[in-house]
């Protein structure tokens, strides 16, 4: 734990009031859930500035807060509420948080860290790796979606006495990966793929490739970089300053696809082993291969590796299989990219049901690439046997136009409510219905409405 004195020093701040010897229990940016002895970081939000909540966190027993010079707060009133409440004046609370996160990481630099990044699959890869490492070690693992320039520093402030650190590093803007890597200072990093997620913000796959692989600039100690050899960008990556380890679907032999799991054979410590993954989707084969490679680096025994992979379970709304009477749905609505949507469709093609229906909504944050990416995604229907597409969203219209010659029944609607109505008309016993779309398109609301109609 850091003391108020350390926070003042690391943030280059000025203590306005409070005691320097107090130890901080934790850090929070949400005033609604802050707990006693935690430190508040008042950031500007979409609708309000965190500074207006400093009084309320003082009343809740928080230990202190940053304060941006010039902001309008009543220092005397806060002192009346809690005379020991620490107020540290800084130029920028966000930068101050990043600075103290960097300080805390340096304080515990003996604990090695693993960074997991990529356009898609960061979270599922992280959780597969964590599932393996938890069988043998005490890891610090990314919580929620804390993987960017706000979330990762919050996670770095939790570093204390763990055996290893396993954190996602996600980017939304150019230069963010260098910032995150500079805080985390990983020994190993994984890049899952180079796709089109956030291409509307970053501009091109070339830029995404450059920014994602910038994590290599921060590698220390082991300096191992794990890359997906099946990715057309990553297979050509060159860097003489790091140790590159490739993984690929070709590493998995004798793959068996079951309705609720996947089994395959691969080498662990140069000995062939049988792997059982209790989840569907080829991405989970790749995720388990990453976990194996990292476990070998950190000398985790084979029995623990096998156990950790077998113990892995999907997150809610990530290829989550749900029974609605005699209909099966796969809720994959957490978010969407072109590559993850294609992967999901290829996955359900391998499952055995009377009919397969795909419910799709727009993939967002594609910028000028929106129409072309949706049209390109339509090509996947030439490779699979899908009985119907039911879709909505401005850009899904283009996918439907391209796919109508490959899928017997294609329906496009402007409104989500019309899609839900059509699903109810179409669904019947023996169907598999796959749901996918960007989170903001609220496809999950259709799933939740359908679930209300069924009682197991």
Average pLDDT of the residues in 110-120:
97
Percent of the chain at pLDDT exceeding 70: 100
310: left (phi over 0), alpha (psi -120 to 50) or beta: alpha
The SS3 assignment for 102 reads: helix
Tokens coding 263: 């089994």
Question: pLDDT at position 314, please?
Answer: 80
In sequence order, which residues have a C-beta less than 8 Å from that of residue 322 and are 6 or more positions away? 328, 329, 330, 331, 447, 451
Average pLDDT of the residues in 51-67:
95
Q: Where are the alpha helices (DSSP H) in 228-301?
A: 282-297
Q: Is the pLDDT of residue 97 over 80?
A: yes
Token look-up 């930068």 returns: 95
Average pLDDT of the residues in 234-258:
97
Which CATH code for domain 4-98?
A: 3.40.1390.10
User: Within a 10 A sphere around the Cβ of 44, how many other Cβ atoms?
Assistant: 12
pLDDT per residue as tens digits for the range 295-330: 999 999 999 999 999 999 887 888 999 999 999 999
Does residue 73 or residue 272 have the better pLDDT?
A: 272
Question: pLDDT at position 70, please?
Answer: 87
Question: pLDDT at position 456, please?
Answer: 47
Question: pLDDT at position 455, please?
Answer: 54
State how far the Cα of 153 lies from the Cα of 66, in Å rounded to an integer.
15
Angle between helix axes 93-107 and 4-11 (nearest 10 degrees) is 110
State how far the Cα of 127 lies from the Cα of 147, in Å rounded to an integer.
13
The architecture CATH gives domain 320-452: Alpha-Beta Complex (3.90)
Q: Is the pLDDT of residue 72 over 90?
A: no
pLDDT per residue as tens digits for the range 250-288: 999 999 999 889 999 999 999 999 999 999 989 999 999
Domain ranges of the chain: 4-98, 108-311, 320-452
The SS3 assignment for 77 reads: helix
For 108-311, give the CATH class.
Answer: alpha beta
């Amino acid at each position: 734990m850091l003391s108020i004195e350390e926070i003042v020093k690391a943030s280059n701040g000025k203590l306005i009031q409070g005691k320097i010897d107090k130890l901080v229990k934790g850090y929070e940016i949400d005033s609604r859930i802050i707990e006693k002895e935690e430190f508040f970081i008042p950031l500007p939000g979409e609708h309000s500035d965190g500074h207006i909540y400093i009084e309320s966190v003082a009343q809740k027993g928080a230990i202190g807060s940053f304060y941006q010079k010039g902001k309008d707060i009543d220092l005397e009133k806060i002192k009346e509420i809690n005379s020991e409440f620490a107020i540290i004046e800084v130029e920028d609370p966000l930068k101050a948080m990043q600075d103290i996160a960097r300080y805390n990481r340096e304080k515990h630099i003996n604990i090695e860290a693993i960074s997991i990044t990529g356009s898609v699959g960061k979270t599922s890869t992280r959780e597969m790796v964590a599932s393996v490492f938890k069988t043998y070690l005490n890891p610090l693992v990314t919580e929620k979606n804390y993987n960017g320039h706000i979330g990762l520093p919050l996670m770095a402030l939790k570093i204390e006495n763990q055996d290893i650190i396993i954190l996602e590093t996600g980017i939304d803007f150019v230069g963010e990966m260098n910032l995150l890597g500079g805080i985390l200072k990983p020994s190993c990093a994984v890049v899952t793929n180079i796709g089109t997620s956030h291409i509307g913000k970053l501009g091109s796959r070339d830029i995404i490739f450059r920014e994602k692989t910038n994590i290599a600039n921060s590698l220390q100690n082991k300096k191992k970089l794990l890359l997906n050899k099946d990715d057309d960008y990553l297979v050509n990556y060159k860097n003489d300053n790091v140790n590159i380890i490739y993984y690929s679907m070709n590493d998995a032999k004798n793959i068996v696809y079951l309705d609720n799991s996947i089994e395959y054979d691969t080498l662990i410590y140069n000995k062939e082993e049988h792997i059982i993954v209790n989840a569907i989707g080829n991405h989970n084969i790749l995720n388990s291969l990453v976990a194996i490679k990292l476990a070998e680096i950190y000398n985790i025994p084979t029995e623990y590796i096998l156990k950790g992979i077998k113990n892995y379970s999907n997150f809610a709304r990530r290829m989550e299989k749900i029974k609605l009477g005699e209909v099966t749905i796969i809720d994959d609505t957490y978010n969407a990219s072109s590559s993850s949507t294609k992967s999901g469709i290829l996955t359900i093609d391998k499952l055995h049901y009377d009919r397969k229906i795909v419910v799709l909504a727009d993939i967002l944050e594609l910028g000028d690439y929106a129409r072309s990416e949706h049209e390109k995604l339509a090509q996947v229907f030439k490779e699979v046997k899908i009985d119907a597409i039911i879709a909505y969203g401005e850009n899904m219209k283009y996918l439907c136009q391209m796919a109508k010659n490959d899928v017997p029944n294609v329906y496009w609607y402007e409104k989500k409510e019309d899609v839900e109505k059509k699903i109810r008309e179409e669904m019947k016993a023996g169907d598999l219905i796959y749901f996918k779309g960007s989170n903001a398109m609220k496809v999950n609301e259709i799933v939740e409405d359908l679930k209300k109609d069924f009682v197991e």
